[in-house]
Structure 1
Amino acid sequence: MKAGYIIRDQEKPHFVTITVVDWIDIFTRKAYRDIIINCLDFCIKNKGMLLYGYVIMSNHIHLIVQSKEGKLSELMRDFKKFTATQILKHLHTEPESRKEWILERFAKATETHIRNKNFQVWQYGNHAEEIYTIKFMWDKLNYIHLNPVRAGIVEKAVHYIDSSASTYALGKGMVDITFAENPVVDTTKNSEFWKYNSYDD
């Protein structure tokens, strides 16, 4: 992992990308997206996670996250470990048409790493970028929220249920996020996000 993507200041918020090994599209299934949502909710309520924004795409997730306890690396490690365990448990116990193929890819990913003995769900590293200004925070929030729009999944970011876009635009969502401060600049003039989120359908 590049040195620039290491979490150095454990107390600062970071833009974090977590990717499934081999870019497997596991989150096309609602059950696996729900695992992520439930874990985020648990971490917010019990692990001191401050979540400013998120999106769950088909094979990766983006978060803007901070640790109240100044232990962001530990928080992300535990998040990845728990979600990996739950994903594997679901794969082994619930119907899944791609089960054998997915497990084969997860098993193969362990061949070059000794830490995981049987299966590896997440790529190593978190691709973390420190959030150093409010403007940078909103640049990353806009990037996160527009992911599903750029991917052609929805026309408006607020229509994508597995992200924090609707929470910012409508005041409600699947996870109780921490709202980012309003930027000093006028977001109606320079933010892509609001171009895609007028309330008239």
Structure 2
Amino acid sequence: MSEKYKAKNPEGIYFVTFAVVQWVDVFTRREYKDILVESLRYCQQKKGLIIYAWCIMTNHLHLALGTDGGMALADIIRDFKKYTSVALVRAIQENIQESRKDWMLSILKEAAAGSSKHLKYQFWQNQYHPVELTNNDQQQRCLDYIHQNPVATGIVSEAEAYVFSSATDYAGGKGLIAVSFIE
């Protein structure tokens, strides 16, 4: 990985995106999104991940995050991606309702065939390019971008209505996992 794309500041807040290989629309089913949410919660509780903003789209996940300093951000991300890759592939394989199972698994298998580090399936694209948010203006633009993603793609008409986003938290509702940028 290039030096340009590393989370160097252990106290920094970073914008990252994790995308499914070939941009496959895996997260159209709630059970797959729930796996991501539970894994993010685990990383918060056990690994010191701090989530300032998040949004699960159909084929990618946006996050603004940092750490409490106990574990490096790159290590948390590595563990998150590794765990969710296995859990999501297993969930797809075991889902008797999944009409796209063979198609999705063939794409994930093909992606692994071109990789030296994945044995059978590759779920996530390798890159996540952390971008440090060093001031309030950058944080606000990131927050707006993350929260408006489901609106821009037509999933909801108002950001606060999308359950799988921290827009609910920022609107004063009971969200799933985010803490505010605001101190």
TM-score by length of 2: 0.94
| Of 157-166 and 89-98, the range deviating more from structure 2 | 89-98
In structure 2, what is the equivalent of residue 97 of structure 1? Answer: 99
The equivalences for 1:52-91 within 5 A come to: 52-68=52-68, 69-91=70-92
Identify which of 124, 129, 146 aligns with 1:127.
Answer: 129
Correspondence 1:129-148 to 2 at 5 A:
129-148=131-150
User: C-alpha distance in 2, partners of 1:49/1:7?
Assistant: 13
C-alpha distance in 2, partners of 1:81/1:173?
Answer: 25
What's 2:17 paired with? 17
Gap regions ≥5 residues in structure 1: 183-201
Q: TM-score, normalised by structure 1?
A: 0.86
Alpha-carbon distance in 2 for matches of 1:178, 1:166: 11
The DSSP-based 3-state class of the residue aligned with 1:54 is strand
Unmatched 5+ residue regions in structure 2? none
SS at match of 1:140: helix
Give the Cα–Cα distance (whole angstroms) in 2 for the partners of residues 116 and 99 of structure 1. Answer: 19
* Match in the other structure for 1:186: none
Which of these two proteins has the greater Rg computed from alpha carbons? 1
Identity rate of aligned residues, in percent?
A: 36
* Structure 1 match to 2:156: 154
Structure-1 separation of matches of 2:10 and 2:107 = 32
The equivalent residue for 2:7 is 7
* Paired residues of 2:48 and 2:71 also in contact (CA < 8 A): no
Cα root mean square deviation, aligned: 1.4
The one-letter code sitting in structure 1 at the alignment partner of 2:153 is A
Q: Contact 2:15/2:64 (CA < 8 Å) preserved in 1?
A: yes
Q: Answer yes or no: is the 8 Å Cα contact 1:10–1:67 preserved in 2.
A: yes
Distance of 2:4 and 2:19 partners within structure 1: 17
- Kept in 1, the 8 Å contact 2:47–2:71? The answer is no
CA distance in 2, matches of 1:19, 1:7: 18
Letter in 1 for 2:6: I
1:62 is paired with a residue whose SS is strand
Q: Is the 8 A contact 1:11 1:72 kept in 2?
A: no
Task: Measure how far apart 1:33 and its partner are.
Answer: 0.4
After TM superposition, give the deviation of residue 151 of structure 1 in Å: 0.6
> Any runs of at least 4 consecutive aligned residues in structure 1 with deviations exceeding 3 A, and if so which?
1-4
Report deviation, 1:39.
0.7
Structure 1 residues 37 and 110 mapped into 2: Cα distance closer, same or farther (>3 Å)?
same
Q: How many residues align?
A: 181
8 Å CA contact 1:53, 1:163 repeated in 2: yes
How far residue 5 of structure 1 moved from its aligned partner, in angstroms, is 2.8
Q: Which secondary structure does the structure 2 equivalent of 1:174 belong to?
A: coil
Q: Is the 8 A contact 1:18 1:127 kept in 2?
A: no
Aligned to 1:195: none
